[in-house]
Amino acid sequence: MKKITFVFLTFFALSQLSAQETENYTQQKNYKEWVRIAPKFEDSFFQTKEARRIGDNVLLYQQTTGGWPKNIYMPAELDKKAYAAVLKDQKNVNESTIDNNATTTEIQYLARLFQATQDNKYKEAVLKGIQYLLDAQYPNGGWPQFYPRPTGYYIQITYNDNAMVRVLNQLREIYENKAPYTFLSDKIREQARTSFDKGIECILNTQVRQNGKLTVWCAQHDRETLEPCKARAYELPSLSGQESDNIVLLLLSLPSPSERIINSIEGSIEWFKRSEIKGLQKEFFTNSDGKKDYRMVPCENCPPLWARFYDLETNRPFFCDRDGVKRYDLSEIGIERRTGYSWYNSDGSKVLQKYEQWKKKLDKK
């Protein structure tokens, strides 16, 4: 009965989504669906019993740190065994993270649920979640992927998968008193503003120079030296054509940018312009083993691409397998990493388009 109720209510609550998206959400028990769809619920949904049931799951998964673990499908119905396991894991503080949209998604959901219900248990969880974000920030303004994990690449400043940018955008919504955070105190908004400003300072301080010129950012930076650093075996220190996109978009969105921010933007845009890859596109095929694969082939009049990783010294795009060896052709790495990771993207075009709009506004001032 509960499953039927969830499908029924969700269908009407997500009227802004396509029928196919709604069907995918109700049928695919996948955390990616949760973090993608959760922000799109209509306000009316939060008046339902189903919204509260999901909200209580979100409360259950909140750890003693105030943060949440990642890769959790929050709408799942938990039996007694699963419920007990989650209670036990609340003390496993090493799982609290901002990776894969965790914590920021849950804070937003509970804030909207509190606005709809005025139930203080949701408000208290939001306050704990925000405090977790504030506690996790380093004095230099950066955030680690996991906090409070003591070792591993998880402790480095993390731009990977837009983890830090998502936190900054949420803090900005808080200090600007935007919905659903209008119930927060002036003190919290002031803390959010201070934290946001420190985060922007960290971004400026970690921007990589190549031959004396400002470029972009690595997916992660050393928490002490601020230098580009390694994460997983196939994620070597580099200039990232993937993670730098949303960093620049964040900087472009800042009102009244300082001269340093303007210089940062101009330097990153110059890098995006000279690093675009023209005349290349993906071609998908089925290999001799019957597996889906792809290769990069020449093309005419196709949109530009950017590689995920560029060499810090030469700015040459490179690729890497689980052996940690840098290679310069995608075909030289195995099919598992080639098809299981995003090596090229076209998001730089959005950055360049947004820059042109920003430049026109700036020139008018």
Q: Cβ neighbours of residue 94 under 8 Å, at least 6 residues apart?
A: 146, 148, 149
Is residue 277 within 8 A of residue 241, CB to CB? The reply is no
Q: Is 305 exposed, middle or buried (0-12, 13-18, 19+ CB in 10 A)?
A: buried
Phi, psi angle pair for 345, to nearest 5°? -150, 165
Among this protein's residues, is 263 annotated catalytic? no
Out of 24, 71, 94, 100, which one is annotated catalytic?
A: 100
**How many Cα atoms are found within 13 Å in the side-chain-facing hemisphere of 24?**
12
Is residue 140 within 8 A of residue 200, CB to CB? The reply is no
DSSP string, 101-112: GTTHHHHHHHHH
Out of 52, 232, 337, 338, which one is annotated catalytic?
A: 232
Among this protein's residues, is 100 annotated catalytic? yes
- Distance, in Å, from the CA atom of 308 to the CA atom of 317, rounded to the nearest integer, reads 8
Calculate the alpha carbon distances from 287 to 239, 240, 319, 327 in Å.
Answer: 31, 29, 20, 21
- Distance, in Å, from the CA atom of 208 to the CA atom of 214, rounded to the nearest integer, reads 6
Beta strands of the chain (E only): which ranges?
A: 157-158, 209-210, 213-214, 220-221, 239-240, 280-286, 292-298, 306-307, 309-310, 319-320, 326-327, 344-345
Task: Determine the Cα angle at 344 with ends 342 and 349, to 5°.
Answer: 125
3-class state of residue 324 by DSSP? coil
C-alpha dihedral sign at 36, 42, 43, 49: negative
Catalytic residues: 100, 232
